[in-house]
């Protein structure tokens, strides 16, 4: 009726299978690929695609805002906000230093010149849907920083708890 043969259907299915295999293969090896597995439960901490990634497991994650408050209250922990500088200025956890992940190459010399490799460091970003804090933590751990933790709830949880928020004008 339409002139479609078994050969046409077979060829179409083979083309579809090849395209799918090629797409999944490129996705799997691309640093910007879409993760097909990962940790998606926000109650378990930061939502992270491909949770088996090496970087994801190097820095312990703290998911208790009261513990974070106590840690930074003692003045011994260096608090690092890795969100963009303009977002940091709009509101951040008091005492946090701004070292945006997206400007890592530009800010890392200031970071290493200011913070000792043995200092306790707590890194945070926006919240459980942001992995920038884990990425920043992994990078500084590879540089030799030994006491790095990540605040999983980040600024979103901090502000939802109605804890004090600092702002910087300009």
- Do 92 and 128 fall within a single domain? yes
- Do 45 and 74 fall within a single domain? yes
Query: Total structural domains in the chain?
Result: 2
Enclosing domain of residue 9: 1-34
Residue 168 domain-assigned (yes or no) = no
What is the structure's pLDDT at 4? Answer: 85
Residue 95 domain-assigned (yes or no) = yes
pLDDT grade for 8, boundaries at 50, 70 and 90: confident
The DSSP 8-state label assigned to residue 96 in this structure reads P
What sign results for the dihedral spanned by CA atoms 56, 58, 59, 63?
positive
d(CA 22, CA 147): 41
Arithmetic mean of pLDDT over the chain: 85
């Amino acid at each position: 009726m339409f002139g479609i043969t078994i050969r046409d259907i077979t060829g179409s299915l083979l083309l579809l299978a090849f395209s799918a295999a090629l797409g999944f293969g490129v996705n799997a090896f691309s640093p910007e690929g879409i993760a097909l597995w990962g940790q998606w439960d926000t109650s378990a901490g930061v939502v992270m695609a491909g949770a088996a990634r090496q970087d994801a497991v190097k820095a312990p994650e703290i998911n208790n805002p009261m513990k974070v408050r106590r840690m930074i209250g003692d003045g011994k922990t260096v608090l690092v906000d890795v969100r963009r500088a303009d977002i940091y200025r709009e509101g951040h956890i008091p005492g946090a230093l701004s070292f945006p992940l997206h400007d890592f190459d530009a800010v890392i010399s200031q970071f290493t010149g200011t913070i000792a490799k043995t200092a306790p460091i707590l890194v945070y970003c926006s919240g459980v849907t942001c992995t920038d804090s884990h990425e920043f933590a992994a990078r500084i751990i590879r540089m030799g920083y030994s006491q790095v933790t990540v605040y999983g709830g980040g600024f979103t949880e901090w502000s939802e708890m109605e804890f004090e928020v600092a702002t910087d004008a300009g």
